[in-house]
Amino acid sequence: MDHFIGGGSLGALALGRQPRDPEPGLADDPAAALYADLVASMRESALYNRVPFLVRLLFVSIGKRATLDMIAAFSSQIPPEPFGTETQHFTSYVRALDLPVPHLDDILNLEDALLEAYRTPGERCVTFDCGAVALLSALAEIRHPGPLARRRCIAYVSAAGIYFH
């Protein structure tokens, strides 16, 4: 039974939380910090893989350090969940921050449509207020898109991919 309690304490420490009933010395164990780093890295990786356009837009707009700090702040407030659900919570979190990042709403709408396309069949339409191909091409190369002409562009999103009209 002690092993089960230790697992709960170690799990809490791995998530950066204080255990309710900590085992003596466990918080000072270097393994606890290692587990916390591993959990944080896995969560960052899951977000990068599931909402890559969003993370890349944040990297090139507010900087890598600020983006990683934002992810850490999100992770400290929201416990880990199945990755599809966690990424939806992250897009909602970013949306609520109301950052002054050009094209953020377009990218959030695209990422939400892509996440939904993974869960349920069908096609979704996402309207961009700029040249979407130029924007997504720049983000695929992890570079700032620069000024983009304002024009309406529609992306059709499904599990098969994205195409534009």
pLDDT at position 46 is 82
pLDDT at position 25 is 63
Residues composing the chain? 165
Q: Which long-range contacts (CB under 8 A, 24 or more apart) does 49-52 make?
A: 50/83, 50/84, 50/87, 50/115, 51/87, 51/90, 51/91, 51/111, 51/114, 51/115, 52/139
| Token couple for 151 | 């024009």
Which residue stretches of the chain have pLDDT < 50?
1-7
pLDDT at position 47 is 87
pLDDT at position 38 is 73
Q: pTM for this one?
A: 0.79
pLDDT at position 97 is 96
- Whether the Cβ atoms of residue 139 and residue 53 lie closer than 8 Å to each other: yes
